[in-house]
């Protein structure tokens, strides 16, 4: 599907005006807050009403050995969840991580504040212990600041955590423990329960409680250079590396699989993270991608299938922009089109213009524009858009070269002549070339008053004096 030049220009003029109107409208309407209790009665526009991350890091124990670097590690994890867009990131370090405080958070604060359509992640970095119950079963526990490693008194046991997750209203709960904690009663975990489904919203309504522990029984969390190997892998995974099928959705089940692989390798086989689903059959979403990407599943396999899928994504992106809908989703679809077919020139052309005018990012616009002229040399829009990008970046000589190439491809592209006229007049200080370009623009049917005035003034100047 090739976009006619005039149609493309008209489309993006409309988009830019619409963006201004929308932003102005937001400024006119006062923000009105809806209480959490009221909001939880309905269904959120996205997957969750609110996302909570409780980050616990204990370095300087009162009654146990210190864990150098633990607080810095935990602060890095807190920052990672902020970057993921979590609404509430509660940080509890050292002196604040007493037994009383941790039990208060689990037994009072979170049950009162977390709603049924919320997401909750609890991260813990500190010591853990293990005892056996009357039946000889393992019972793990977390060690608060003022507790002892080999004494379950004052600890937060697995039973405490299980009771908390039963009381919590949150739709999805994920415990990430940088400690070898055992003793969970588990259901059989379902690997990547959401992948490839046609209706992710329906599946993500399923309640789930998941646990990722950094090490297995008899192991410990390896630290190197004052940093936890588990935390380093966790940060990389949350940044996108754990999206194992590259569909834009990062699930807790994927994160668990990724951490097991990475930590096993980085620890040279001495540490093996475990991941379990202890309640429900859903899967916590850590990064919510587009529904379109979720629906792709395994994706097209053959070259023909990939080209067809690329064309479909491109046409849907164009339709979204034409209808004034989400530019972000349009970009996502264009990225998919390019991923399916890296030589799809028209997708680069449209993306470069979106990055120039609709969702500006001049660095990405330039990189994409250069790929557009490489893969779509017969499309004048590729050179035209690249010329506009160079002009906005202040590279006026490069802008001239690209615009001249555009009219070589299509000698009747009137908009390019108008852009050349303004470029020569405003930036290259070449009035004769400016008038020449404006004249050609008018000959092709253009009607802009600036072009008319420039040509008229030049003609008047060349008339002989009576």
Residue-wise pLDDT for 165-221, tens only, equals: 998 999 999 999 999 998 876 554 444 444 433 334 445 678 899 999 999 988 989
Query: Backbone phi, then psi, for 217, in 5-degree steps?
Result: -60, 135
Taking the alpha carbons at both ends of the chain, their separation in whole angstroms is 56
State how far the Cα of 78 lies from the Cα of 84, in Å rounded to an integer.
Answer: 10
Measured distance CA(390)–CA(406) in Å, rounded: 14
What percent of the chain has a predicted confidence (pLDDT) above 90?
59
**Is residue 25 very low, low, confident or very high in pLDDT (cuts 50, 70, 90)?**
very low
Is-contact 153 97, C-beta < 8 A?
no
| pLDDT the model gives residue 305 | 79
Phi then psi for residue 59, to 5 deg, are -110, -50
> Which H helix or E strand runs over 141?
strand 138-142
Length of the chain: 466
Which residue matches tokens 């259901």?
187
From CA 289, how far away is CA 50, in angstroms rounded? 17
pLDDT at 264 over 90: yes
Structure confidence at residue 185 (pLDDT): 64
Which candidate, 131, 249, 254, places its Cα nearest to that of 201? 249
Residue 245: what pLDDT?
76
Q: Give the residue, 433 or 39, on which the prediction is more confident.
A: 433
pLDDT per position as a tens digit, 275-300: 999 988 888 999 887 554 444 444 56
Asked if the model's pLDDT at residue 20 lies above 90, the reply is no
Query: How much is the pLDDT for 320?
Result: 83
Tokens representing 217 are 């029984």
Average pLDDT, the chain: 83
> Residue 102: which pLDDT band, with cuts at 50, 70 and 90?
very high
352-404, pLDDT tens digit by residue?
999 998 889 999 999 999 999 999 999 999 999 999 999 999 999 999 999 99
- Contact in structure between 294 and 262 (CB atoms under 8 Å): no
Provide the pLDDT for residue 41.
42
Pick from 295, 274, 276: nearest CA to 284: 276
* Mean pLDDT computed over 61-88: 95
pLDDT in tens, 41-56: 444 456 889 999 999 9
CA distance 282 to 292: 20
Provide the pLDDT confidence category of residue 465 given band limits of 50, 70 and 90. Answer: low
> Which domains, ranges and CATH numbers included, belong to the chain?
46-291 (3.40.50.1460), 301-462 (1.25.40.10)
Using alpha carbons, select from 208, 181, 180 the residue that is nearest to residue 192.
Answer: 208
What gap in Å lies between CA 173 and CA 53, rounded to an integer? 10
């Amino acid at each position: 599907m090739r976009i006619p030049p005039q149609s493309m220009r008209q489309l993006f003029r409309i988009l830019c005006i619409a963006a201004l109107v929308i932003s102005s409208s937001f400024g006119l309407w006062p923000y009105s807050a809806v209480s959490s209790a009221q909001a939880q009665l309905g269904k959120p526009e996205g997957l969750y009403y609110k996302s909570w991350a409780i980050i616990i890091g204990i370095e300087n124990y009162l009654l146990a050995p210190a864990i150098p670097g633990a607080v810095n590690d935990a602060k890095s994890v807190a920052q990672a969840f902020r970057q993921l867009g979590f609404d509430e990131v509660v940080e509890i370090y050292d002196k604040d991580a007493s037994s009383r405080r941790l039990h208060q958070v689990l037994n009072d604060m979170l049950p009162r504040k977390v709603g049924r359509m919320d997401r909750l992640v609890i991260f813990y970095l500190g010591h853990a212990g293990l005892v056996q119950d009357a039946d000889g079963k393992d019972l793990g526990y977390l060690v608060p600041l003022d507790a002892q490693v080999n004494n379950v008194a004052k600890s937060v046991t697995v039973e405490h955590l299980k009771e908390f997750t039963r009381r919590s209203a949150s739709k999805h709960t994920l415990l990430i423990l940088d400690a070898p904690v055992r003793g969970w009663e588990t259901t059989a975990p379902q690997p990547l329960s959401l992948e490839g489904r046609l209706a992710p919203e329906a599946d993500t309504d399923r309640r789930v409680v998941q646990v990722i522990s950094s090490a297995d029984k008899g192991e410990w969390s390896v630290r190197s250079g004052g940093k936890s190997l588990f935390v380093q892998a966790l940060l990389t995974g949350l940044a996108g590396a754990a999206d194992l099928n590259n569909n834009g959705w990062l699930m807790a089940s994927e994160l668990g699989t990724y951490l097991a692989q990475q930590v096993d390798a980085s620890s040279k086989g001495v540490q093996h993270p475990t991941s379990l689903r202890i309640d429900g059959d859903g899967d916590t979403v850590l990064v919510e991608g587009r529904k379109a990407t979720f629906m792709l599943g395994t994706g097209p396999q053959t070259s023909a299938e990939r080209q067809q899928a690329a064309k479909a994504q491109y046409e849907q992106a164009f339709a979204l922009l034409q209808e004034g809908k989400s530019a972000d989703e349009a970009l996502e679809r264009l990225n998919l089109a390019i991923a399916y077919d890296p030589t799809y020139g028209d997708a680069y052309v449209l993306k470069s213009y979106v990055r120039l005018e609709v969702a500006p990012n001049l660095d990405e616009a330039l990189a994409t524009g250069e790929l557009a002229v490489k893969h779509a040399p017969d499309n004048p829009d590729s050179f035209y858009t690249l010329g506009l990008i160079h002009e906005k970046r202040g590279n006026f000589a490069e802008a001239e070269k690209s615009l001249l190439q555009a009219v070589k491809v299509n000698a009747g592209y009137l908009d390019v002549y108008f852009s050349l006229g303004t470029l020569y007049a405003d930036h290259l200080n070449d009035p004769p070339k400016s008038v020449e370009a404006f004249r050609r623009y008018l000959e092709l049917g253009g009607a802009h008053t600036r072009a008319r005035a420039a040509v008229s003034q030049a003609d008047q100047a060349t008339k002989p004096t009576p």
